[in-house]
Amino acid sequence: MTTPSTPLLELSTLWIQVTGTWCNLTCTHCLNSSGPHNPWLKSLDTEMVTRYIKEGADLGIKEIYYTGGEPFLHKDMLLLIAHALEVVPTTVLTNGILITDQVADHLAALAQNSPYSLQIRISIDDVDPDKNDRIRGKGAFAKAVRALELLHNRGLLPILTATEILRDELPEGRGMYEQFRDLLLGLGITKPRVKIMPVLPTGRMEREGGPLLTPEMLQGFDFSLLQCSETRVVAEGGVYACPILAGLPGARLSAKSLKEALKPCDLYHTACVVCYETGMTCKN
């Protein structure tokens, strides 16, 4: 079967997988099998990240996203956020566990002193602490909620990000958005922001033999609906097409530079079907 590809229509978004798959949690649905022990994808050094930020700015990117693993495990994470905020709006995807009062103070200062916006996304998977911690690890819910409060109290508006892994356990008549909105309102966050993502067939949820995209399925398709038509990802080993597939050989487009990665990418993975069917994006 011929593998279809998507063109790069523009380079608008740069993702930086700053800590690779190094994380302080071992979530059962993690899309890249991150965890605290022997990460299969290593962290990026500070010099490399700043070099890619500069190249991205020269190529006209409009926003930067930091992800991992857990970004705040990187020893220079606050400095790297500052570098990104010098050129474009910046988002950090985090489980919130390492956001202390001191870190929250620093983030608020960065946001206040930058001409660009700083967004922090905090991962929670259920409003019930026990159900959430069954997925994310003991104590994760309380620490994530604490991070939401710390950021909100300093004028930042965190985005609660959840997956649909516990969707089948929802009470009848109550959707995920409504549950998370009410949780945020109950914390005194008067402008609740919620992003919900599907469970992706990657990492710990990957199963062999899933459906793949075909050229016939993409005839007449609007490729601008696919995130990979405007996104590139920096991770160990080079530049990749997709933050979901960063680090996988089939997604790598360049070993050296963003400019070399400005070319079509293969839609070779079962996760590509989810994006095609749902219009899912990792962006805010």
What is the block-wise mean pLDDT of the chain (284 residues), using blocks of 10 residues?
93 98 96 95 98 98 98 98 98 98 98 98 96 96 98 97 83 80 96 94 87 95 97 98 94 96 96 94 94
How many Å apart are CA 184 and CA 195, to the nearest integer? 13
DSSP one-letter code for 231:
E
CATH of domain 5-278: 3.20.20.70
How many Å apart are CA 114 and CA 31, to the nearest integer? 32
Pairing of the two strands 231-235 and 63-67: unpaired
Q: What is the mean pLDDT of the chain?
A: 95
How many Å apart are CA 24 and CA 236, to the nearest integer? 19
pLDDT digits (tens, 9 = 90+) for 205-218: 988 888 999 999 99
Residue 71 has a CB neighbour count (10 Å cut-off) of 25
pTM of the model: 0.96
Amino acid 171: pLDDT? 67
Listed in sequence order, the residues at least 6 apart from 181 whose beta carbon sits closer than 8 Å to its beta carbon are 192, 194
The letter for the amino acid at 143 is K
